[in-house]
Amino acid sequence: MNEGKKKFPWLPMFALAFAYATAFNPPYIRYFLYDSMIEAMGCSNVQLSFLTTVSVITAFINSIPGGWVADRFNTKKILLISLGANFPAILLSVIFIKVYWVQVVVWGIFGCTTGFAFWPAVLKGIRIVGGENNQSTTFGMFEATQGLVATVGNMIAVGVFAKFANQIWGYRAAHFSMGILCLIGVVLIAVFYKDEMGTVAAEAGEEQSEEGKFKVKDTLELLKNPSLWLVAVTLCGVYGLYICQSYMTPYFTGVLGASLTITGVFAIMRDYGTKVVGGPIGGLIAKKIGSPSLLNAICLVVCAGFIFTISRIKTGGENVVTFAIIFVLVNALVCCMAKATMWATMDEANIPMHLTGTAISIVTLIAIYVPDAVMPLVNGWLLDTFADDLPKAYSYYFTILISMAFIAALAAISIFVRHKKLKKKKLQTSAKE
């Protein structure tokens, strides 16, 4: 049967999205139970923040080896082992809640269960279930689904926490509920995700012979591929714009004079609502135009335009907050359309399926870890340095975002052009034969 006529892989995609969301919720429980974590663990703000640092550093160190493992071993087994390991780690954490060094070890484990081979294996799994013709749609639906699952999972944890009068036991129960969801994710992967690496690779023309299997030296070949670096630059721009959206919150309160209540509601719509809507729309549009890289380029340019417009809004005018909210929400929607399909650009970059894990790890080092490490520091420095002149701080902030968007758009267009040229060359070669 022609792949394009096959039914959309809803169940495998949902299983992967559920696994991804439930795996990443436990390490970041502090986002909504911050004070309760400090109370439960009896630690300081610095000590609590250090736990996240341990997790991120651990994931960073083992990212490349994790890519090798993801390419060398069975994807399904990696997902099952990584996700399943979260439960005993959480159990250890809630039992020894007052022992800080145990918490450091647990968050180090989280760095392995969510980083290492799990992260590249999940994205590799999406490439596999999406097939050659459904990359954009599958990645788009995956982004929306994992965002929805993560939100529901966090709401369940908050609901469980609210059932306890004692904060310490409430936190323990909330974290434990996340462990239960991880086990449910294990069941979903075991039942619905079929590891069809060999089948998909064969359909794509990749022989699973010794030549088609992963070798460590293949990393050097990937590093020589210009398209891999173009993907990294594209994703760095898209992800950088995405994480910097959170700094629009102090812009609304400190510059535009919006109330905390309005800003809070707006932030939820920006961070969650746009992801659920933008993911599927981005996937469908990318499939319609036949190029996720072209969609990313368009979205990045549109985002640059919206950011410039937002930067020109005059403070103190009538309905200024309303207009700003509309522009920021539309900008966030467009950004989520790009974020949902950014990993699908790997297909246009002609990254071999059997090297997906390694490629994802290399790209992640540049496109995810660099923005995560650098952008908060830059934005925080601007807000602290120009605390008495926030409009000036945000003028620099907007300039940085616009520059990032245009650079990433150029990289995305380059991927599109290179892919077209390679495709044309292959057709000419086939015609001669």
Residue type, 390: L
The tokens for 37 are 């974590």
The tokens for 409 are 């758009």
Which residues make Cβ contacts (< 8 Å) with residue 238, sequence separation at least 6? 296, 299, 300, 335, 338, 339, 342, 408
| Apex 142 CA angle, 361 and 191, nearest 5 | 95
Quick one: pLDDT at residue 204? 44
Quick one: pLDDT at residue 150? 86
Quick one: pLDDT at residue 207? 44
Rounded-to-integer distance, Cα 199 and Cα 128, Å: 9
Rounded-to-integer distance, Cα 334 and Cα 296, Å: 9
| HSE-CB for 405 with a 13 A CA cutoff | 24
Quick one: pLDDT at residue 428? 67
Residues in the chain, how many?
433
The tokens for 195 are 């590891």
Stated pTM of the model: 0.77
* Of 226, 240, 238, residue with least CA distance to 349: 226
Quick one: pLDDT at residue 134? 73
Q: Specify whether the CB–CB gap between 32 and 122 falls below 8 A.
A: no
Q: Specify whether the CB–CB gap between 127 and 347 falls below 8 A.
A: yes
Rounded-to-integer distance, Cα 300 and Cα 32, Å: 30
Residue type, 320: V
Quick one: pLDDT at residue 432? 63
273-312 burial, b for 16+ CB within 10 Å, e for fewer?
A: bbbebbbbbbbbbbbeeebbbbbbbbbbbbbbebbeebbe
Domains defined along the chain, listed by start: 3-194 (1.20.1250.20), 218-428 (1.20.1250.20)
Rounded-to-integer distance, Cα 388 and Cα 255, Å: 11
Residue numbers of the chain with a pLDDT score lower than 50: 1-4, 197-212
The tokens for 141 are 């639906």
| CA quadruple 142, 145, 151, 155: dihedral sign | negative
Tell me the three state secondary structure of residue 194.
coil
Rounded-to-integer distance, Cα 7 and Cα 143, Å: 19
| Apex 285 CA angle, 284 and 287, nearest 5 | 65
Tens-place pLDDT, residues 315-364: 766 678 888 888 889 999 999 999 989 988 988 888 887 788 888 888 98
Q: Specify whether the CB–CB gap between 202 and 339 falls below 8 A.
A: no
